[in-house]
Amino acid sequence: MSSALIMQHIRDGIMVVNTETIAGKVITQNLGVVGGSTVRAKHVGKDIFAGLKNIVGGELKAYTELLEESRTEAIARMVADAAARGANAIVNVRFATSSVAGGASELFAYGTAVTVE
């Protein structure tokens, strides 16, 4: 999923990095903060299974998968926002997580949309 996302970025021509600058390039224009967020939950069956797995301990695969999917979606929305502003890179990307309710979680990705040369 992650590598597919990277392919998507390359197709859109938008570079996403979490450093403040892109090495070898010069930032010519600042287009403001862009962000994307999503709230997602697994269905009840997976929640119950994760609850059972929690007794034994170890990795809870259902929740790992859930957060991975939501983060991918949040990044895709952020990239769409940046593309709408005509940016060709997003720098200094940060992530934030909050749990709204029991099984649901909100993922938020934000960064600065810029044009680089």
Partner 1 sequence: MRSTDARARTLIASSMLSVLLFSGVAMAQAAEARSEDSPFIMMCCLGPLLLISLGFAVFGILWAVFYPIMFLYAVIFSERNLNRMMSDLVLRERASIDHFGKDPLSTLKGDHIVGGIKETGLVYANVVYSPSHWQLLIAWINQLFGGRIDVLHRVISAGRAEAKQRLREQAQAAGWDDVLNVRIDTAEMTPASKPKGTRAVEVFAYGTGIKFG
* Closest distance of CB 20 from partner 1, Å: 7
Strands 27-40 and 89-98, sheet pairing: unpaired
Q: Are 42 and 66 in contact (CB under 8 A)?
A: yes
Q: Are 41 and 115 in contact (CB under 8 A)?
A: no
Stretch that binds partner 1, among 6-14, 26-34, 80-88 (CB under 8 A): 6-14
Q: Are 89 and 16 in contact (CB under 8 A)?
A: yes
Ranges within 15-74 binding partner 1 (CB under 8 A)? 15-20, 22-24, 48, 50-61, 63-64, 67-68, 71
Nearer to partner 1, 61 or 85 (CB): 61
84 binds partner 1 (CB under 8 A): no
Nearer to partner 1, 59 or 117 (CB): 59
